[in-house]
Amino acid sequence: MAEISAGHSTHTTSVAWWRDERKRAIIWQIVVVLLLLLAVAFIIKNLIDNLETLGIPLGFDFLDSTAGFAVSFSLIQVDLNSSIGRLIVAGMLNTLLAAAIGIVVATLLGFLVGVMRLSRNYLVSRIATVYVETLRNVPLLVQLLFWYVAISKLFPGVRQAINLGDLFFLSNRGIYAPRPVAGDDFGLVLIALLVGIVAAGVITRWARRRQMATGQQFHSFWVGLAIIVLLPLLVGLALGSPLSWEIPELKGFNFQGGLVFQPELAALVLGLSTYTAAFIAEIVRGGIMAVSHGQTEASLALGLRQSWTLRLVIVPQALRVIIPPLTSQYLNVAKNSTLAGIIGYPDLYSIIGTAQNQTGRAVENVAILMVFFLSLSLLISLFMNWYNRRIALVER
């Protein structure tokens, strides 16, 4: 096609689609997606045909049937008459509990050991080095078995349980503690707690803006903590203590009532946290070393103490290096919790295995397991990515 304008001719030629690189890329992507969909459809059809041949139904109706087995630990009430679906929910909660505690303990311990490795004190740095090099090179399964045997042998039997003020009892069957029992007006205490948390957040944001504007610091952490603790306490006292406590008592061969923290949970948390903390320590050490030493010299020249320099200058900058690999370690904690069945902790993986053996519904049970861990991993990644963007440098 030719266009004539102001005595000059301009030739515009269209490029064939098979020669346009951008169009070819889009077409190939469409082809790949279609091939993947066809492959998935073939696998699903083949699966359904094989299950029909074997006479095995496909569906999740088995979740409503009676399980016929119980678990030794659960955050919700379960018994032999509970449905399989309820037991699976209990396993999910058990897995989330162990993973959450393990992540918190591993983070605190990992940061401590990572800072210790950089200490100028020879003994402190060597102790941290031995910790890291030892635990990183011992399989996690071996460590879980070690902690389980150590905890089981460390405490005495139930009748010889260690008594702490007639409130806490330590035995080889677990740690028994008072269980809080909420009254009718306890909801007002929870509302006061939420109000305190919101107020603490508002004070923290105000203190940060005030410091950026005037350079003056405000003890927002201690003030916020006081509000979070004192406000619900005052509301509870005004309502006449709407929270009572159920004290565990020795009856027969075991304690009845109260809360029990089983040795399996303690062994799992200790194994996951101490093992992961060794990797987190190296991540923290690398992140701190990535910060220019001039930052430390500048802060010391301004008169800041070593602890302030580490907390206010070094760690905030090191977090930008620490957070991405730290996310992977958090995901490892969640996925490594599937080893809990080895020491008898009823996590989701072990409960799914029992349900699969009883019902023969392997496809459905594995699908539940995959969806749960996929969702958990995505939630952890989304939170850590949000936090990583929040602390990232803002370029102008």
Burial category of 140 from C-beta neighbours within 10 Å (exposed 0-12, middle 13-18, buried 19 and up): middle
Q: Are 166 and 247 in contact (CB under 8 A)?
A: yes
Element (H, E) at 169: strand 168-171
Q: Mean of the per-residue pLDDT values for the chain? A: 86
pLDDT at 396: 53
- Map out the domains of the chain as residue ranges: 2-51, 84-178+247-391, 179-246
Q: How far is CA 91 from the centre of its chain?
A: 15
Dump the DSSP string for 28-75.
HHHHHHHHHHHHHHHHHHHHHHHHHHHT---SSGGGGSB-----S--S
- 372 to each of 64, 88, 223, how far by Cα in Å? 19, 11, 39
- The alpha carbon dihedral of 273, 275, 280, 282 has a sign of positive
Mean pLDDT score, 278-302: 88
Alpha-carbon distance of 101 to 55, in angstroms, equals 43
pLDDT in tens, 213-259: 887 878 888 888 899 999 888 888 888 777 778 888 888 778 887 78
Over residues 4-18, mean pLDDT: 58
The secondary element (H helix, E strand) that includes residue 20 is none
Q: Which CATH superfamily is domain 84-178+247-391 in?
A: MetI-like (1.10.3720.10)
Cα(70)–Cα(80) distance, rounded to whole angstroms? 5
- What is the band of 5 on the pLDDT scale with cuts at 50, 70, 90? very low
Give the pLDDT band (50/70/90) at residue 11.
low
pLDDT in tens, 148-175: 888 777 788 888 888 888 888 888 888 8
Per-residue pLDDT, 13: 62
Query: Could you tell me the two tokens for 203?
Result: 């004070």
**Structure tokens, 161:** 């349980």
Q: pLDDT-derived band of residue 1, with 50, 70 and 90 as boundaries?
A: very low
**Rg of the chain over CA atoms, in angstroms?**
29
Full-model pTM:
0.79
> How many Cα neighbours within 13 Å face the side chain of 321?
15
pLDDT band at 334 (very low <50, low <70, confident <90, very high): very high
Residues 6+ apart with CB under 8 A from 230: 196
